[in-house]
Structure 1
Amino acid sequence: MTLTLPPHLARYVVAQGSITLDGVSLTVADLADDTFAVSLIPTTLELTTLGRAQVGDPVNVEVDVLAKYVERLVAHPAQEARA
């Protein structure tokens, strides 16, 4: 499954990293400038809404929270050290 990547989330997505689509935790299989792909196994297709997704359907995207933590630590290292 290949999806368009919203620009504000692109910095948090890496190949082989985690991403959640409609509540399903998946691994990023491929990554391009404005798209990413995940591989879906038959069980995931059968037991989740992803198996019924059609081209153009919106999906909820949650990026890996670790990437957000790293971004915050890099942006404000002294502040985090005092906490």
Structure 2
Amino acid sequence: MYRIVDAKENLGESEVREAHFTKILFYIRIGDKEKALEQLKVTQGKKVVVGKRMDLVFYTLQMGFFYMDFDLISRSIDKAKK
């Protein structure tokens, strides 16, 4: 959280996005599905380059497979096709 606030106040937009990505990866690693998905939605709302946008889709897909959440898997595949 501190890293995001610091990036907003002192750094540029790309550093803020990277801080959000770090937070997503943290929640994925500790297994907090709800917070990870919430952070993914926040990050997807920002301007993200195509490669990072695909990373977001793949992280969502990865969580869907881990938790056997077939609705999440289906939505992620549809996003990946777009």
TM-score by length of 1: 0.24
Which has the greater radius of gyration?
Answer: 1
Higher strand share: 1
TM-score normalised to structure 2 length: 0.25
Larger helix proportion of the pair: 2
